[in-house]
Amino acid sequence: MADRFVAAHPWHDLEIGTLVSCSLDSQAVLAIFSRDRASCFVAKPQALLESVFQVVEIAKGSKVKYELDKQSGLIKVDRVLYSSVVYPHNYGFVPRTLCEDNDPLDVLVIMQEPVLPGAFLRAKAIGLMPMIDQGEKDDKIIAVCADDPEYKHCTDIKQLPPHRLAEIRRFFEDYKKNENKQVEVEDFLPAEKAIEAVRNSMDLYAAYVVETLRQ
């Protein structure tokens, strides 16, 4: 974990929101880590339908894969997709989270309009898409924008039209095929599994902070 750079830019000090609470030890550690910063870690116990902040890296309809540069904190162009597909929805990450691939937790947020890369919004997790990317776990949170009147009342992935889910699945199955990279998408899971994934990624980020403070 010593080589991780997830806290190298200010976006990871955004409040994660009020989706779920993490362990008391994690909250205490992160409060110490953030006490001199403008934004302090907040993860209040709330109903499962509350929102988290998401930083948008890629806008809905884009064929360009942008990603956050962990060293500079700027949005960089990673590549143009090799296939004739575009991102079906806005895509980004949840600040103050960390996953097994050393990156923050990925989120695909469903809403009416594209959002500029670098903006952040309130996203409500409604499901989890388990995914294996070239043999490595790379799960995605499926969310809706909490401030979009068309989608804000959605609470579980089962409420989405079947075609919408098929569209999401097909995009991730196909978008790396012309790079000769294999991606496997498993069955979508309900909101409870998404919330569990957020909790786990928060705790892993807290463990990273503990290790950083000890160095």
Per-residue model confidence as pLDDT tens digits over 167-197: 999 999 999 999 999 999 999 999 999 999 9
d(CA 92, CA 120): 9
- Render the burial of 17-33: b for 16+ CB within 10 Å, e for the rest: bbbbebeeebbebbeeb
Written as one letter, the residue type at 57 is E
Per-residue model confidence as pLDDT tens digits over 90-135: 999 998 899 988 889 999 999 999 999 999 999 999 999 999 999 9
d(CA 183, CA 144): 24
Written as one letter, the residue type at 44 is K
Of 106, 100, 74, which Cα lies nearest the Cα of 87? 106
Per-residue model confidence as pLDDT tens digits over 6-42: 444 444 555 555 444 444 344 444 443 443 332 323 3
Q: Cα-atom radius of gyration of the chain, to the nearest Å?
A: 17
Determine the pLDDT at residue 167. Answer: 97
Written as one letter, the residue type at 59 is A
Per the CB < 8 A criterion, the answer to whether 130 and 122 are in contact is no
So which residues are the catalytic ones?
A: 87
Domain 10-214 has CATH 3.40.640.10: no
Averaged pLDDT, 127-152: 96
| φ, ψ for residue 24, nearest 5 deg | -60, -40
